[in-house]
Amino acid sequence: MNGAAKISRDELSQAMQEARLLEAPPPDAALAWIDLFLEAYGAEGVSLDEALQRVRVLRAEAVTVPALELERLRSRDVLFFLDAVGQYVDDQAELRGLPLEHDLRAIASEFGLPAEAAREAVRMALTGESHGPPLELLFPLLGHERIMIRIGAISSRLLHGRGLEPIKYGPDGKPFEPLRGRRSS
């Protein structure tokens, strides 16, 4: 399939069935998930193979966060913020249609994190990537359980890896700064 062609629901569901990622016939909930996936990733014009790889990543319990990005998250502010995001997710009955732009900004402000840094921390904790679909689509694609597992895993790596003491210098030899909150006095 050409990388620029749009994938249909039927094409993706058939490919998922062939890859043993989906039962036949697919339940309505699975088709709704595929529709959401295509809304999130379909505009990128991904190939069917790329789409299947993204489905596998979304369904995995854990993600790999690049070492330097993990270091950027290594601060109490980010750790407590991510924990609060986990609590927020746990309190939601439904992850579709959440006012995440507003709610994440409000949670971030409690820890002095700028909204952009907060979104970056959430995306990195959930996907291991700095770019991707809007969080409003990503949250329901991942679901409660995977979000909680992934936030727990990143928190564990931050606390039990090297603790919360950040590295002093990046690989380029320049001083390195993790994401930190800026609290007003």
Along the 185 residues of the chain, how does pLDDT read in single tens digits? Answer: 344 468 999 999 999 999 999 999 999 999 999 999 999 998 677 889 999 999 999 999 889 998 888 888 888 899 999 999 999 999 999 999 999 999 999 999 999 999 999 999 999 999 999 899 999 999 999 999 999 999 999 998 888 766 566 666 667 777 777 777 776 44
Using the CB atoms, write b or e for 4-31: b if 16+ within 10 Å.
Answer: eeebeeebbbebbeeeeebeeebeeebb
Residue 59's closest CA among 84, 90, 86, 34? Answer: 34
Residue-range domains of the chain with CATH: 9-59 (no CATH), 67-160 (1.10.10.350)
Rounded to whole angstroms, the Cα distance separating 159 from 17 reads 39
By three-state DSSP, how is residue 62 classified?
coil
Question: What pLDDT does residue 163 have?
Answer: 57
Question: What pLDDT does residue 3 have?
Answer: 44
Rounded to whole angstroms, the Cα distance separating 125 from 44 reads 22
Question: What pLDDT does residue 185 have?
Answer: 43
- Token couple for 180: 């930190």
DSSP 175: B
Question: What pLDDT does residue 165 have?
Answer: 65
